[in-house]
Structure 1
């Protein structure tokens, strides 16, 4: 049936909204020869222009292109809109709303403990040390009791300076159990960087790994205010003496004398405010000084529930004979590692396998020796799995699903991995300020370049960078989101908060992107990273994706180089593949890209390098690249 005939069939029964008309309308949909129509309920109305509405997870695009439809009656519980009737071009999630928890983060995690109490909650990928779920809860409660007993109070900030080890989970959950606030510091930070976060957060206690102890103590000397230090010993160095004033973690929580779970449960039974801050992660600082992001229990539990929506959740509930494995290779001090990798996994009873840092050999061993693997990754890991010579089919065969986030990943890189191991590979998108998940691809998505659809209970819009007006589909603008996962505020920075979250609750991401006819979102670049060439905007990510398509390129990063004639021009930093290190020429790559882009997007200069500076989640640190380029060529 032609699309217009399909539309006429639907319009013929769409004039009223009685219950009998639902069946007639549904029958008309079944007669329509259009898969997207058959797979969803939707409606479209005509005001000044076509506004499309989405039910569940599909838009009947074919109809919208050719027809202007009268309103179709839609059952209220099934109705999901692609655009709001109140304000044009506001996009609503295609997924039905989930019931949001009204409990704290630890309460959500322990809620179904009886189902998997004896299963492994976390295992160290280096030495094999592990805790069951029951042990994790007991140790967390012992820490909570010890924190309260030490004189700290609910609302106080406890800092964690550790790599990914099993005790990180104990430290994080125990602090939250006591009603206190967790802030994590990158374990590779120098003393001055540690000092900044200790001061800014107002931390009262630090739980630290021995490898970071020296830098921490240097920072403590400069702090000027008292702060307690608890050190988590490695299993091989428990007899190593600690500096004066530093307490061993095992001694602090009381060892075997720390009380049983029932006793501690009674001591910690006071109900907490779910609106209180639970986590204080710091933004990356790639566009300025890091800022503490106040995330409440409600923010985090809402986002875990959104991420656990059945249409997008890759982790199955653990059973007596089944458990998913999640490699915890992304840093737990980062929101991606803390909320998506850790919390999302624990509420489903999965097994986390930690690595202190990304190391190919133990990482591949985790993939080789575990089953039902759900891998949360960043683009460099996707690139590693798709192209590194040490990765074999044996390492990939147990991958159940791979999700990439933290930074945009090119469709070409995803397709390379899919060609080696056919399995679902999806992109997610979020920010520290959104707890973090905002969009995620569905499990059957084949749009590899897309960051997916909006998660449940969430709205989005794309606004003009200059005017702030909301834009229709397929037009680039700033991505904005509103939902229960949006942060409370920046810590002690009301002006920065107002600049990021407006009076109507919209989080302004600073990312440039668009949405298409099916409600899938795409990120083009960062607003502050766009290169302005003679007034035209050039997205570095677009050029980077093209460069990576060249068979002799391993990785690439693009930034702006000041130019007196054009304002700015693109300059690329390229890592050649080892086989092409001597033969790859600048002109070859320039011509390769020039054949695929408009003249103003052509790359003016290519610098061959051995490494590209990136953050812990794989974001290219363009500010550093820009400084290098300006020193060398300006």
Structure 2
């Protein structure tokens, strides 16, 4: 069992197999009620409960790393540059010491603006080693979007890739306070020039005394200290910071490395799994599942900065014992694209998909192309992220898997909010040690997502069968999922309404075989501006958002359909666009 002098709060053990004896991680009023009543609506995990250690995330992830100290921990799939486990630990601690020496205080936030690369892992664990909070931004974001998140998170430092340096500096100029910029400018062995106001990343991992790091690092309360602050739109609305504690992250890594469901094979002298990490680390799926899960079990993380067919297929061809964590577009590519041949899939041992719904037919296509284990998982940023995880032997690919250990689930009526008997369809709700502390500075949004009894309301509609496997059948939430990325309609609507020629706007989505979904904008021009062109509106939005948020189609209407309280009726928008498409096909 790990122990840390810096940890002030124990995480404890939760035995969810016996609801009447739940630990104090759940509210007392809930415990008293569940102890005295039968709750046919509450479903516990089928897996044995586990001990959650008193540890920071870096301590837990690297608990056994001395066993494989000389094996490669993380390696760039493009350049071959990487770090062994020993080097990753040392460099993370050097970075932690450098940040502390720079004067960062308890509660301060450091933001990463990095693609998947070995330096991301150094930074991710290094910031947490220092007892600081880490946030992360999609490198595709515009300077405006970067500035917004930096402002909301209160970040004091940003660590960026050289390719994103210009945007980072532009974002800094938009802030009304100072922001220190650190740049990875030698990622491929060639050092690039940077302004004198920017500090090279290499300075932070240069040789230094790290023996007193534990004494220097800020104290961590495992159940309270926010370790990671990713951003999510939640069930609706604009992006919000999700406060994930060390407890949340450690618990989820422990849950998905549970002996009954782990998919990585033990690391030995002669064997090491390779994980092709193309899922972005700024997304909780990438950071917890691809990165922390793999490193906890001694695997090799092969980083790719983005999904690009040639480099992706090359990484599949040149590595062995491959575990692939994928989003649906990657599954579709591997299953259907002619360039993805059996040769490329030869060393693929397990594929797990998540991040957005993936059809069982696409999973079957991939399985038919290469016989291997193909499974699904389900979760949210707000749950760090995994809530359900398939067992390797479970063959129903329509299922997102069974409830993970130490977790309860129930289904509630989407209209009344009342509990439904197990097996019925409604909104999925979960409770467990991986559930976020709160949304950052958003108490009302927190209350809308986590109820008074501690249940996380997912906004997803589904059911749980007799084997405690979860099935997602619809989304109550309004988010658009483009290649697994969240696109909140409210954000695009806000931008559209800022256009001087537009009066009102509403956004919905269209299914897309390539991207999953794409945004469609309905707009009402201002009087006298009826001649505005579709391309002008598309270009306007594109200038203000990341590429995946671009509007795919613009529909001109006289009014946006709304209910009496002013809420946009997106169901009506979907019907309108479907009607238009059907008319064009006639």
Q: Relative to 1, partners in 2 of residues 1:620 and 1:300: Cα closer, same or farther, differing over 3 Å?
A: farther
Counterpart contact for 1:386–1:420, Cα < 8 Å: yes
* Long gaps (5+) in structure 2: 1-15, 19-34, 482-488, 490-507, 516-541, 556-569, 582-586
2:260 is matched with which residue: 306, 311, 321?
311
2:106 is matched with which residue: 154, 159, 162?
154
Q: CA deviation at 1:619?
A: 11
Aligned residues: 482
Quote the residue 1:167 is aligned against: 119
Matched, 1:432 2:381: yes
Instruction: State how far apart, in whole Å, the 2-side matches of 1:293 and 1:399 are.
Output: 33
Secondary structure of 2:453's aligned partner: coil
The CA deviation string for residues 381-433 of structure 1, in whole angstroms up to 9 with x for no partner, is 11111111011111112111110000111110110011111111111000000
Quote the residue 2:426 is aligned against: 477
2:456 is matched with which residue: 502, 507, 517?
507
Q: Relative to 1, partners in 2 of residues 1:279 and 1:345: Cα closer, same or farther, differing over 3 Å?
A: same
Q: CA deviation at 1:471?
A: 1.4
Counterpart contact for 1:281–1:292, Cα < 8 Å: yes
Instruction: State how far apart, in whole Å, the 2-side matches of 1:576 and 1:281 are.
Output: 26
Secondary structure of 2:231's aligned partner: coil
Q: Relative to 1, partners in 2 of residues 1:628 and 1:471: Cα closer, same or farther, differing over 3 Å?
A: closer
- 1:459-478 paired onto structure 2 within 5 Å: 459-478=408-427
Secondary structure of 2:334's aligned partner: helix
2:473 is matched with which residue: 524, 536, 544?
524
Q: Relative to 1, partners in 2 of residues 1:511 and 1:205: Cα closer, same or farther, differing over 3 Å?
A: same
Quote the residue 1:343 is aligned against: 292
1:99 is matched with which residue: 37, 48, 51?
51
Secondary structure of 1:367's aligned partner: helix
Quote the residue 1:421 is aligned against: 370
The CA deviation string for residues 488-541 of structure 1, in whole angstroms up to 9 with x for no partner, is 0000000000000011110000000011222211001111459xxxxxxxxx99
Secondary structure of 1:288's aligned partner: coil
Q: CA deviation at 1:470?
A: 1.4
Instruction: State how far apart, in whole Å, the 1-side matches of 2:575 and 2:550 are.
Output: 15
Instruction: State how far apart, in whole Å, the 1-side matches of 2:331 and 2:373 are.
Output: 13
Quote the residue 1:396 is aligned against: 345
Instruction: State how far apart, in whole Å, the 2-side matches of 1:168 and 1:217 are.
Output: 19
Counterpart contact for 2:185–2:193, Cα < 8 Å: no
Higher relative contact order (CA 8 A, sep 6+): 2
Q: CA deviation at 1:244?
A: 3.2
Quote the residue 1:278 is aligned against: 227
- 1:234-633 paired onto structure 2 within 5 Å: 234-236=186-188, 238-253=190-205, 255-256=206-207, 258-259=208-209, 261=210, 263-265=211-213, 267-268=215-216, 272-275=220-223, 276-284=225-233, 287-529=236-478, 573=511, 633=580
Q: CA deviation at 1:623?
A: 11
Instruction: State how far apart, in whole Å, the 1-side matches of 2:550 and 2:50 are.
Output: 35
2:158 is matched with which residue: 175, 184, 206?
206
Q: Relative to 1, partners in 2 of residues 1:302 and 1:375: Cα closer, same or farther, differing over 3 Å?
A: same
Instruction: State how far apart, in whole Å, the 2-side matches of 1:130 and 1:176 are.
Output: 20
Which structure has the larger Rg over C-alpha atoms?
Answer: 1
Secondary structure of 1:358's aligned partner: coil
Counterpart contact for 1:286–1:621, Cα < 8 Å: no
Quote the residue 2:5 is aligned against: none
Q: CA deviation at 1:236?
A: 4.7
TM-score (norm 2): 0.77
Counterpart contact for 2:74–2:301, Cα < 8 Å: yes
* Long gaps (5+) in structure 1: 1-52, 56-82, 531-539, 542-558, 560-569, 578-612
Instruction: State how far apart, in whole Å, the 2-side matches of 1:491 and 1:448 are.
Output: 36
Instruction: State how far apart, in whole Å, the 1-side matches of 2:425 and 2:574 are.
Output: 30
